[in-house]
A and B are shown apart, each in its own frame.
Chain A
């Protein structure tokens, strides 16, 4: 779209005198601007999106002498199963009430369960126990810790504990009943 200056051609000086055509030096810069902004958007997106963050982890010392005692009424146990499923129960598992106590959920609903528990329990008694099965993923383990942060559970009021065989059995049974492969 470079423009040609043709206006001066109409003005003849005389017969035989040929005037050299004057070409304008103006170039249309629109495509160049387009390209510039395209590249800018590309760089803007790539710079902001690849910024990894770091989440702190505090592990307790494996020390059996200083076991923390918690009130049963304040405890919510969250079990991470396969396929992003979460199972939970309040207090301690009682052999005669297993099926009532043991409930299944998922990561979308777990936030509300955590928040509800937090509201209904005195802050001093609150305790979340997180147990992961062998089939749960790294993502699950991080997500549940993230849920703790999202619900503003103070540090020291949640802990990761090894799963017990009884709980593992309960999970496999629930998985069978719910048809989770």
Chain B
């Protein structure tokens, strides 16, 4: 009886194909990732069940842990106009050269009275050591002036688009009175709708929203 020969197969597999797939996927994910500008102000936002994505080019009010308020003008098209309005309405007396310098800032987080001296000094204060826009005093809430500048710049355009752009982002540990001042600043400018930046969290299983399954509200 002839012996049955079991051919010995090598355990080496050709990895080339697998390698190709791996790097194809890798390049896809690298290209699909949006490069986010590094966050200067470290803010840890609360979570919500809302699943709508936050827009990128937004007028963003940031509340940090220590209660400082910053403004970021993400929509470049009207930035100059907004700053011009703030300059004119609050009598900051900035020259056109100073305005150009001011426009380059990423964050606005100084009391209006200190803007001119800050720009003329030529120093570059990092956002973390700025003192923030003063909001605590309801009578001198400077955020009101800022939002007024924004509203004036967008007057006559689609107000719905403006509402979609107004975002408030706050740290979990920011205290409520600051948020209240921010809301007040919106209200004084006749803005009753804005949005809050949150991290998405899944809808709790068994809750009413989970059972009805629609997330259109809020």
User: Measuring CB to CB, which residues of chain A are less than 8 angstroms from any residue of chain B?
Assistant: 3, 28-30, 32-33, 36-37, 39-40, 43-44, 46-47, 50-62, 80, 111, 115, 118, 132-143, 145-146, 148-152, 154-155
Name the distance in Å between B53's Cβ and chain A's nearest Cβ.
Answer: 6
Q: What's the least CB distance linking A49 to chain B, in Å?
A: 9
What is the bound-complex CA distance between A33 and B203, given in angstroms? 37
- Interface residues of chain B, those whose CB is within 8 Å of chain A, are 12, 15-16, 18-19, 22-23, 25-26, 29-30, 32-33, 36, 45-55, 63, 167-180, 183, 186-187, 192-200, 203-204, 207-210, 212, 215, 217-218
Instruction: Name the residue on B nearest A42 (C-beta).
Output: B29
Bound-state CA distance A56–B49 (Å) is 11
Closest Cβ of chain B to A78, distance in Å, is: 13
A52-B198, A55-B48, A149-B217 known; A138-B22 Cβ under 8 A: no
A40 touches B25 (CB 8 A): yes
Q: Which of B23, B26, B195, B199 contacts A57 (CB 8 A)?
A: B195
Contact of B198 with A135 in the complex, beta carbons under 8 Å: no
- Asked if B33 contacts A141 (CB within 8 A), the reply is no
Separation in Å of the B89 CB from the closest CB of chain A?
22
The SS class assigned to the B binding surface is: mixed
A46 to chain B minimum Cβ distance, whole angstroms, is: 7
From A29, A47, A54, A148, B18 is in contact (CB under 8 Å) with A29
- B140 nearest CB across to chain A (Å): 19
Given contacts A40-B22, A151-B207, A54 and B15 within 8 Å (CB-CB): no
Given A149-B209, A155-B217, is A56 in contact with B193 using a C-beta cutoff of 8 Å? Answer: yes
Give the shortest distance, in Å, between A13 (CB) and chain B (any CB): 28
A54/B167 in contact, CB under 8 A: yes
| Distance from A31 Cβ to chain B, minimum over Cβ atoms (Å) | 9
CA of A52 to CA of B199, assembled, Å:
5
Residues in chain B near residue A58, CB distance under 8 A:
192-193
Q: Which residues from chain B contact A32 at a C-beta distance below 8 Å?
A: 15, 19, 22
Verify A54–B22 contact, CB threshold 8 A: no
Q: A29-B19, A146-B48 are in contact. Are A54 and B55 (CB under 8 A)?
A: yes
Give A173 Cβ to nearest chain B Cβ, in Å. 20
Cβ-closest chain B residue relative to A136: B176
Quick check: B50 and A54 within 8 Å, CB to CB? yes
Nearest CB of chain A from residue B191's CB, rounded to whole Å? 8
